[in-house]
Amino acid sequence: MYIPQAFGTQDPAALDRLAAYNAFGTLVSQSDGAPLASHLPVLYRRAEGRVRLAGHWARANPQWRDIEGQRVLFILHGPHAYISPRWYLEPEKNVPTWNYAVAHLYGRLRLIHDAEELGRIVAALAAQYEAGATQPWRFESTAESARARLQAIVGFELAADEIQIKIKFNQNHRAENIRGAIEGLRAEGSTAAAEVASWMEDLLTRS
């Protein structure tokens, strides 16, 4: 990934925030000499000094069949939004851009076929996304129907051996332009624009 110096970071907190914001990412591998991608929710954790991701495919998804042993890429996508030059002090001296946060995690996958381990992954994913529900759905791995469902999926764990993080939120601009962009984004009224504005304000406060 192209990362200008102003936008690169190795701050673990930045990666943690990206994963907390959106753990539905993109897994990229090679199949028959061409890129192949799947879009998957994952469990994110730090263990034994490594960032680890766990998730699963439908068994019918062909990506898992030749992925073991490959060095793969998992992309975590953060908030993003269009930035207009009209929000800066000197619009005529600037151009439009796009602000975004993203992380690329590289590593090798371990495939998971064991029903007990698969059950733990499915249960943990459900608990993560059912959090806050009045009557959350729970995965009961001991039920007969659950065992049948587990046979229809293949799990994985990715231990990242390289992590690239890009946080592109106008750090190459003076504070007045950043504040103008924050105000402009908030005036847009969309959830995505407001999220980018919040991340930008946090960065500006810490700088």
| DSSP assignments along 74-137, one per residue | EEEEEEEEEE-GGGSS-GGG---EEEEEEEEEEEEEEEE--HHHHHHHHHHHHHHHHTT-SS--
Handedness of CA 191, 9, 51, 157 (dihedral sign): positive
Rounded to an integer, the average pLDDT of 132-152 is 85
Q: Tell me, what's the pLDDT at 158?
A: 97
**Fold type of domain 5-172:** Pnp Oxidase; Chain A (2.30.110)
Q: Domain spans of the chain? A: 5-172
Task: Quick: pLDDT tens for 25-44.
Answer: 999 999 999 999 999 999 99
The per-residue pLDDT for 12 is 95
pLDDT over 80 (residue 207): no
Task: State how far the Cα of 118 lies from the Cα of 143, in Å rounded to an integer.
Answer: 14
Encoded amino acid at 103, one letter: A
Question: Tens digit of pLDDT for each residue in 61-112?
Answer: 999 999 998 999 999 999 999 999 999 999 999 999 999 999 999 999 999 9
- Write out the two tokens for 112: 């998971």
DSSP secondary structure string, 151-204?
A: TTEEEEEEEEEEEEEEEESSTTS-HHHHHHHHHHHHHH--HHHHHHHHHHHHHH
